A and B are shown apart, each in its own frame.
Chain A
Amino acid sequence: MLYEVNYSAVLIFSVIVGFTLWLSFYLGKSAQSASGFFAAGGNIHWFVNGVAFAGDYLSAASFLGICGMIAFYGYDGFLYSIGYLAGWIVALLVIAEPLKRMGKYTFADALDSQFNSKGIRLAASLSTLAVSIFYLIPQMVGAGVLVKPLFGLDHWVGVTMVGAVVILIVTTAGMVSTTYVQFLKGGLLVVFSAILTVMILNRGFTVIDPDLKAEQLADQVVTKLADGSKLVNGLPQGKGDGQADLRPVGSVLELPDGAKETGPLGPLEFFRVFQDSKVALWRDKKDGDTTTYFAQPTSGAEILRPGNHPNFKGIRGDNLLVKVNFLSLMLALFCGTAALPHILIRYYTVKDQASARKSTIVGITTIGFFYVLTLYLGIGAMTSGSLDVTTSNMAAPLLAKSFNNFLFAMISAIAFTTVLGTVSGLIIASSGAVAHDLVSIIVKKPLEDAAKIRIAKIASVVVGVIAIALGILFQNMNVSYLVGWAFSVAASANLPALVMVLFWNRTTKQGITASILVGMASSLAWILLSGDTYSKVYGWNAADSFVPFSQPGIVTIPLSFLTLIVFSLAASPRDRIGNSSK
């Protein structure tokens, strides 16, 4: 679908970016010390930190990806909402308070607090960089995906623009400005999603006009030509005479009792009516360079049950490996959140364990509330008549457009801010891993704060530039798929080490180092050899892959635990927690 440049979105986004940059420069003096730069001096209020957790965590994958997936496939997208939130319970009940007690600036601090081991620092910093880079790519790709239709700019311009702004935010005031960008973004995202939900409920459902039904449900055919241009239904794609563009889609075909419209609906009534209705979902069929998009009438009851998305279809069948793949994904989502370095470092920005606990409770409430809204936003988009059949990522902004242009501009600008907030967190986590952990392995003498901050700023620029380059390089890659990589690697590499260092006093530095390296290597190898990667990345036959299913967590998380236990038992008791030389 072709989009017109949305100047209101440009204006709102510019105001938000301008405000965050002003705030960054204003707060710059708070980041003169290492503690100020990496952990905001531990002075962030627990409520601000809680909302900033939401701003850090609710990435482009959560906002654009989940809404889009629900809009195209129904309940399956909601499974991600449930899995992503469940991980926060692990963070609150198991990780938050001990991590705050043991750590200082980075995830490695907590693991190494009782060992003083270069091996642990090296392994933890490598896993921080690996997870952060995997998480950065989809955010940057998401920025490029948004900028093209909304601002009329090329993908690389959007990626470079977001990268440059984030580098500026991080290098001026480190974690202080990052926190307030995330607070602002988390607050805006939840408030405007709630407003959008109220408007969806107020609008209710309306059956498609019978006179327009045949025209609106007709197949749409897109043909890619050798020069990169496209034909839509046999005509050159465009808005002018003799040209054609794709129609926006998404309509209700039938309502219960033959009603034509429902009027305003209550929050539960919305689903009761929807499950007894019939909706047109859009599917595609590829034949060489030609893709045909066709409407598939589907009952609401079918949409509101798991198993519609190609990745989840198997759970309704008898193939055990497909079911194991699903279990593995849900395990990775459960274990991954509490092992994401950019989330963990937020615990160092508050003053004590009680604040860590309270901020996680605020985070869970904010994130949980948002995830409840995702089902309304997704179903609202599905029936809004504004979806783009070629991409699910635009479902949330286009839903807003179906109400009015201001909301469209606001939601689009928030989507950009979403990228800024998450990328800032990732870059600061990476720069901490380099300046605080990697450099301490190489340089024997402890660094002065000023030197540490200088290295962190250089690392921020380098990681930012790498993120820009990867965002341009991977522009055609599925963004949710890459986020899945990050969760699997984090859950396999980091969580076993964190849990065991807290709960098993026979844990040794050798066990932790081996566990992180084995968890990271095995999960990465599994992903690279999986059927999903074969078909989606290499363009090979998925059946030729080396591993029986694509999600590694169910194998690599236990493997990482086992490695830690075996290496710890094999090591000398002198190397156990509390016995290591300081």
Chain B
Amino acid sequence: MHHGENVKEIEDPISIAKNRQRGLVLFGVYSFIYAAYVLTNTFQHQWMEETWVLGLNNAIVSGFGLILSAILIAFVYGFLCRPAGPKKEA
């Protein structure tokens, strides 16, 4: 099945290293958010019952927030790693 232009991105060591660094920074950010969520559920569970924003309890806000932040981080990573236009070969 054909899915359009089959252009291969140049995979040079510099862009690989840069992507790796960006990935690790964003991974650190998300791991921190996830750890904070899990530890709060474990040791400060009463905080999850409080209502701070949008009239919803913190469990709902933080749960949806965690899912949306995963999607956001994925897009940020995709944006940062986008290839520069001319760096493509047919």
Query: Which residues of A approach B to under 8 Å, CB–CB?
Result: 27, 43-45, 47-48, 75, 78-79, 81-82, 85-86, 88-90, 92-94, 97-98, 101, 268, 271-272, 275, 301, 304-307, 315-316, 323, 326-327, 330, 334, 351-354, 357-358, 360-361, 364-365, 368-369, 371-372, 375
- Bound-state CA distance A242–B86 (Å) is 79
- Residues of chain B contacted by A364 (CB below 8 angstroms): 70-71, 74
Q: How far is the CA of A82 from the CA of B23 in the complex (A)?
A: 20
Return chain A residues, CB-CB under 8 Å to B78: 357-358, 361
Asked if B90 CB lies within 8 Å of chain A CBs, one says: no
Q: Are B74 and A89 in contact (CB under 8 A)?
A: yes
Which chain B residues border A326 with CB–CB below 8 Å?
38, 41-42
Contact among B1, B3, B38 for A327, CB-based, below 8 A: B38
Contacts of A92 in B (CB 8 A): 23, 74, 77
Which of B16, B23, B55, B67 lies in contact with A368, CB distance below 8 A?
A: B67
In the complex, the answer to whether B70 meets A304 with C-beta atoms within 8 Å is no
Q: Give complex CA distance A44, B74 in Å.
A: 21
B interface residues with partner A (beta carbon < 8 Å): 1, 3-4, 6, 8-9, 11, 16, 19-20, 23-24, 26-27, 30-31, 34, 37-39, 41-43, 45, 48-49, 54-57, 59-60, 63-64, 66-68, 70-71, 73-75, 77-78, 81, 83
Complex contact A351–B8 (CB within 8 A): yes
CB distance from B86 to the nearest CB of A (A): 15
Whether the pair B16, A97 counts as a contact (CB closer than 8 A) is: yes
Are A45 and B67 within 8 A (Cβ)? no
Whether the Cβ atoms of A371 and B74 lie closer than 8 Å is no
CB pair B70–A88 under 8 Å, yes or no, is yes
> Taking CB as reference atom, which chain B residue is nearest A275?
B57
B56 touches A271 (CB 8 A): yes
Knowing A48-B3, A86-B30, A93-B30 touch, does A75 contact B59 (C-beta < 8 A)?
A: yes
B45 touches A316 (CB 8 A): yes
Q: Main secondary structure on chain A at its contact with chain B? A: helix
Write the chain B residue with the least CB distance to A88.
Answer: B70
Q: Please, which residues of chain B bring their CB within 8 A of the CB of A268?
A: 54-56
Do A305 and B43 have beta carbons less than 8 Å apart? no
Q: List 28 A-B contacts (CB under 8 A).
A: A43-B6, A45-B4, A75-B63, A78-B63, A81-B67, A82-B66, A86-B30, A89-B74, A93-B30, A94-B23, A94-B27, A97-B16, A98-B20, A275-B56, A305-B45, A306-B48, A316-B45, A323-B43, A326-B42, A327-B38, A351-B6, A353-B9, A354-B81, A357-B81, A360-B74, A361-B77, A368-B71, A372-B68
Residue in B closest to A48 when the chains form the complex, CB atoms: B3
In the bound complex, CA of A85 to CA of B31 (Å): 12
Known: A82-B37, A93-B26. A305 touches B56 (CB 8 A): no
A375 neighbours in B (Cβ, 8 Å): 60, 63
Residue of B20, B34, B71 near A365 (CB, 8 A) is: B71
Q: How far is the CA of A250 from the CA of B8 in the complex (A)?
A: 53
Closest Cβ–Cβ distance, residue A368 to chain B (whole Å)? 5
B42 near A323 with CB under 8 A, answer yes
CA distance A44 to B3 in the complex (A): 8
- Which chain A residues border B45 with CB–CB below 8 Å? 305-307, 315-316
Asked if B67 and A357 make an inter-chain contact with CB atoms under 8 angstroms apart, the answer reads no
Interface pair B23/A371, CB less than 8 Å apart: no
Residues on the B chain within 8 Å of A353, using CB: 9, 11, 16, 19
> Shortest distance in angstroms between A394's beta carbon and chain B's nearest beta carbon?
25
Q: A268-B56, A306-B41, A357-B77 are in contact. Are A93 and B8 (CB under 8 A)?
A: no
Q: Is the CB of B3 within 8 A of A45?
A: yes
Asked if A361 and B74 sit within 8 Å, CB to CB, the answer is yes
Question: Which residue on A lies nearest to B51, using beta carbons?
Answer: A275
Chain B: which residue is nearest A81 at the CB level?
A: B67
A523 to B74 CA separation, bound complex (whole angstroms): 30
Per a CB cutoff under 8 Å, which of A43, A93, A315, A365 touches B23?
A93
Closest 3 CB pairs of A and B: A45-B3, A93-B23, A354-B9
In the bound complex, what is the Cα–Cα distance between A92 and B19 (angstroms)? 11
Q: Which listed residue (B16, B24, B38) contacts A93, Cβ 8 A?
A: B24
Q: Would you call B66 and A86 a contact (CB within 8 A)?
A: yes
Inter-chain contact A352/B8, CB cutoff 8 Å: yes
A353→B45 CA distance, assembly (Å): 41
Complex-state Cα separation, A307 to B59, whole angstroms: 11
Residues B42 and A315 in contact, CB atoms below 8 Å apart: yes
* B49 adjacent to A272 (CB under 8 Å): no
- What chain A residues lie within 8 Å of B48 (beta carbons)? 305-306
Please name all residues of chain B whose beta carbon is closer than 8 Å to the beta carbon of A361 when the two chains form the complex: 74-75, 77-78
19 other A-B residue contacts (CB within 8 Å) besides A301-B49, A357-B78: A47-B3, A82-B63, A86-B30, A89-B34, A89-B70, A92-B23, A93-B26, A93-B27, A93-B30, A304-B60, A305-B57, A323-B43, A334-B34, A351-B6, A352-B11, A364-B70, A364-B74, A365-B74, A375-B60
Residues of B within 8 A of A304 (CB): 57, 59-60
Question: In whole angstroms, how far apart are the Cα atoms of A89 and B35 in the complex?
Answer: 13
User: Once the chains bind, are A327 and B42 in contact (CB under 8 Å)?
Assistant: yes
Q: Are A86 and B34 in contact (CB under 8 A)?
A: yes
Distance between B46 CB and nearest chain A CB, rounded to angstroms: 9
Q: Which residues of B contact A307 (CB under 8 A)?
A: 45
Q: Tell whether, in the assembled complex, residue B74 and residue A306 are in contact, meaning their CB atoms are under 8 Å apart.
A: no
Measured CB to CB, the nearest residue on chain A to B37 is: A82
| Given A85-B70, A94-B24, A315-B42: A305 in contact with B59 (beta carbons within 8 A) | yes
**What chain B residues lie within 8 Å of A98 (beta carbons)?**
20
Q: Cα distance A45–B56 when bound, in Å?
A: 40
Q: Are B59 and A82 in contact (CB under 8 A)?
A: no
- Point out the residues of chain A lying under 8 angstroms from B27, CB to CB: 89-90, 93-94
A81 and B70 alpha carbons, distance in the complex (Å): 12
